[in-house]
Amino acid sequence: MRIPQETIDHIRNSTDIVEYIGGFVRLKKRGKDYVGLCPFHNEKTPSFTVSPSKQLFYCFGCHRGGDVVKFVMEYDKASYIEALETLAERAGIAITRTEEAYESASETEKLYNVMSFAARFFYNNLTKTPEGEFALEYFRTRGFTNQTITTFGLGYSLRSWDALIRKAEEEKISPEVLEKVGLLRRRDDNTLYDVFRGRAMFPIFSTTGRVIAFGARKLYDDDNLGKYINSAETPIYHKSKVLYGLSQAKEAIRQRDFVVLVEGYADLISVFQAGTKNIVASSGTALTKEQVQLISRYTKNITLVYDADSAGATAMMRGVDLILEGGLDVRIAQLPEGEDPDSFVRKHGGDAFEELLKKAVTFIDFKANEYRRAGKFETPEGQTEAVRGLVQSIAKIPDHLKRALFIKDVAERYDLYESTLYNELEKFTRKVPEKFIATVRTELEPEQRSEAPAVVPDELPIEERELLSVVFEEPQEMVPFIFRAITPDEFSHPAARTIATAVLEYFDKHQTVDVHQLLMMIESEKEKTIVANIAFHRYQLSERWNEVGSKFHETRLYEIALGAIKTMRRKKLEKELSENRMQMKNASLSGGDTMPFLKRQQEILAKLKEVEGLKLMKG
């Protein structure tokens, strides 16, 4: 483990799960727990539950559950280390890692480490080399302060084909790893060279603040590549799922409950520096469904800043329907002719930009204005096309009430019957019959299909589930009682076997069982989900038992454990009995000796009788 256990415990104990999850999910108190709509699947009735007493969450709909670290991993799609870093930063806890060889890091961790190394290298090139002074002057002309340069980790790639390669060799970083994250490329003769040369560097961060890619701006006239070049897709960077600046902006987005979306790196940095910190950039690409989903974790309100002169912004505006389809509200703030966000704030200041945001209009107003500028309202044919375009966007809204109000708005604007618009709306909302959708699904390649839902933990045999439940409830009593009678290998379900083995291993070392530590030990997501489900259910049961009284509580645990052990043994013996009878029948039909099978049958029946006669004896 690269982070000391005491630090991990400190991070977990410093974070209240209700307070943390409440920042993402609207929770309501229900009894001793809190409930809300699950952030991991669509639902109308709350099935997502958070227990403050045990610091666990669990969804009874999609069966995801665990502790606060697991929530961060699921919600931010973060690694275990990233989740801990997020919580540590929030709690103001400094993470000190144990000394560990680079080779022992996981493959993904190696990629993150290499990107961090490259970001430091580029930053040092900018701030500590004579060649970097030219790039530093470029940033200065853009008005970027030292604080801003540090906040966004801006840097400079030297005008060399192998500067990064040579520095990596000093750090004992293999060229293959650099190539894997898109920092090196191969020539036809198989030699490697630096991808970024003589460019202003803009690190792209994950939501948890780790460098995952770079954008690079041209600085020299003899550079024949494009004005901006970006990292290629890698195992840790998928551009359709990333928004530039989100790591720096997410807290401000939550506080102000809306996000400003612009096009480029410089636009974002200038506006951020001017005081509007709830801002992200699409980096010149068309907005994607994944990016909209990413935004929805922090707010349901987006303000697009529209630059009429920018082809990239025009592509971004095509994302309006995508935003509406994602259930978010969108407004559009239009810049004066000839201005982009960067030039506007440098000329007019941050306060003027905030005023511009206050004047943002609805998507209906914006689209209507665009149609009017294009002359669509000058003829009946053009009006038809414009109104149909507005209705098509309204059709993307999943909220039926909101959709109805927008239809009413358009009807009043253009003196049309609402029924006429609803007829048009139906054309865009009519669904394809499920049988056709099912046919298409079966023809999809495996990698195109949606991710399978989380396992339903009830698939465990009830007796095995009950044994794990009582172990979690009272490990010091139940582990010795149960595992004197059976071994983990006797659990029939593979997941239950793995969990039971982990329980016994942990108990042998610590003389107790900690669910949070168990979740860390177990690697399989399926098994983690089962542990969380059982643990959460037993906490609810525990509260009811405690109300009855501790004596009843303890006796009841032993009764449940004994009953489950008897059921497991009975099932195992009944299976053996059935197999033995089948073998005896086959022997009889083939004229073979049936006596061994008769003898075995008597032994099994005797064992079954012993099982039925088992009595509760503690100690």
State which of 2-6, 73-77, 234-238 shows the largest mean pLDDT.
234-238
Q: How confident is the model at residue 459 (pLDDT cuts 50, 70, 90)?
A: confident
What pLDDT sits at residue 317? 65
What pLDDT sits at residue 176? 93
What pLDDT sits at residue 245? 95
SS3 276: coil
CA separation for the pair 283, 204 (Å, rounded): 10
Q: Which two tokens stand for residue 528?
A: 């983690």
| Residue burial 392-423, b: 16+ Cβ < 10 Å; e: rest | ebbbbbeeeeebeebbeebbeeeeeeeeebee
CA separation for the pair 279, 253 (Å, rounded): 8
CA separation for the pair 348, 356 (Å, rounded): 11
- Average pLDDT, stretch 306-312? 65
Q: In order of start, what are the domains of the chain with their CATH numbers?
A: 5-91 (3.90.580.10), 105-237 (3.90.980.10), 246-359 (3.40.1360.10), 368-429 (no CATH), 457-612 (1.10.860)
- Average pLDDT, stretch 589-604? 88
What pLDDT sits at residue 212? 93
| Residue burial 325-359, b: 16+ Cβ < 10 Å; e: rest | bbbbbbbbbbbeeebbbbbbbeeeeeeebeebbee
Distance of CA 171 to the CA centre of its chain: 32
**pLDDT tens-digit map of 33-74:** 899 888 888 887 888 999 888 889 988 888 888 899 999 888
Q: How confident is the model at residue 358 (pLDDT cuts 50, 70, 90)?
A: very high
With a cut of 70, say whether residue 260 has pLDDT above it: yes
